[in-house]
Amino acid sequence: MWQNQEVSAGGAPFSEPETRSLRDFVQRIEARLVISYHSAANGIYYSGKHEQWEPVRRLARAYEESSCYPIPRSGTGLVGYRITGASGGYFYSQSIPEITVELAGRSSPEFERNLSGLQAVIDFIASE
């Protein structure tokens, strides 16, 4: 449901044109990292499997420290329940780290927080 209207997420992975476009774009530019933004859970989640992908966890922590968006208390950055068809699962299968930043609210892009988080990730990557 969205605004009291029934919506469909599609019948299969990449069944919708916007998801195919995103997948194709990421492949075409040979992305080394994907950061997506959603609202409004006020937190940072990342792709991967519990205790199996330290590189993206380090990137998520750099974003967290600079932006003050928290990684969930479990410390894993994983949602804690099964999600099918999410971009993070696909990017993980392609060895592309993915961080999802859940904004604190729906009315603002929280520009300064996110600029700070992005700069922290850029600095972290440059230092490696």
What residues form DSSP beta bridges with 39? 103
Q: What's the CA angle centered on 116, arms 22 and 76, to 5 degrees?
A: 65
pLDDT in tens, 46-91: 876 666 678 888 999 999 999 999 998 665 555 555 556 677 778 8
What residues form DSSP beta bridges with 100? 36, 45
Query: Which pTM was predicted?
Result: 0.80
| Contact in structure between 108 and 44 (CB atoms under 8 Å) | no
- Asked if the peptide bond before residue 40 counts as cis, ω within 30 degrees of 0, the response is yes
Q: How confident is the model at residue 16 (pLDDT cuts 50, 70, 90)?
A: confident
Per DSSP, 29 falls in state: T
Go through the domains of the chain in sequence order and give each one's CATH number.
31-127 (3.40.630.10)
